[in-house]
Amino acid sequence: MNEAAMESSTPTASARPASTAGGGSGRDNVAWRATSTGRDVALISTDLIPGRPLRLWGAAVEVADGGAFIRLATLNAFDGWSLTQLLAVALARFEAEQAHSGEAVLAEIVRHLDRAAAMHREPQDGWAVPPVSFEPAPPGSPASPFPWSLARAGQFAIQLCPDAEARQRGVTPEQLLTVIEMALTSWLRVTPWRRSCWQARREVRTALALEAERARARWAAHVADCDAETNLG
């Protein structure tokens, strides 16, 4: 497949046009996506110059009652989340979801993420990526069917939505996959590992499409349950 064909893939999440702003600190690029349940994700990059590292790279993620920022690594594996780490977090969450519900589609999502993790190459082959640890929700958090809802790598942490329905505070699985897909798309323009990046993105996009469909069905069932309770009342 040629590189032009690589770029013809259609994103699985709805996208808003990217905006660019100039300023004294450099050039800012912002791209937005909305998940199937309406939670926004914005990928922010500063000074995206081919062949040179970004000064800032990260995602602003809408949670239930506020926002969270996921800083992505630019200079080394310790100044933010690497995509290797984010793929590990996504895999662990979907494996936990699969153990909880046993839905067949979750096994398919895990399979695609396994492939993406195997294909992805970090900017420098010499990067020693710190391991990711998983912790239960802090005291006072909503009850969770999963053994963990906090992922940590070095000084960085991501609080995931503790409930299977993804209605509580925290990053939802669909948002996490959206961040990974957007980051791979951003990195595709400058990476020396173009083909492996494109292949990893293809697998993540497939997993994201499956999760978006699952999230829409789950939300529709929740709305139907609420309507039924209202009618009974």
Which 8-state DSSP code applies to residue 24?
Answer: T
Per-residue pLDDT, 65: 75
Q: Which two tokens stand for residue 56?
A: 């800032």
Which 8-state DSSP code applies to residue 168?
Answer: S
15, with CB counted inside 10 A (0-12, 13-18, 19+), is middle
Of residues 55 and 88, the one with the higher pLDDT is: 88
Q: What is the pLDDT of residues 163-172, one digit of tens each?
A: 877 778 899 9
Q: What is the pLDDT of residues 129-168, one digit of tens each?
A: 889 999 998 788 888 899 999 999 988 999 999 887 777 8
Name the strand (E) or helix (H) holding 185.
helix 173-188
pLDDT above 70 as % of the chain: 76
Nearest alpha carbon to residue 175 among 86, 82, 84: 86
Neighbours of 160 (CB within 10 A): 28
Q: What is the three-class DSSP state of 160?
A: strand
Which strands sit side by side in the sheet containing 14-23, from one edge to the other? 14-23, 26-34, 40-46, 56-63, 66-71
| pLDDT category of residue 53 using cuts at 50, 70 and 90 | low
Of residues 37 and 105, the one with the higher pLDDT is: 105
Beta strands of 74-137 (E only): which ranges?
A: 133-135
Q: Where are the domains of the chain?
A: 3-232
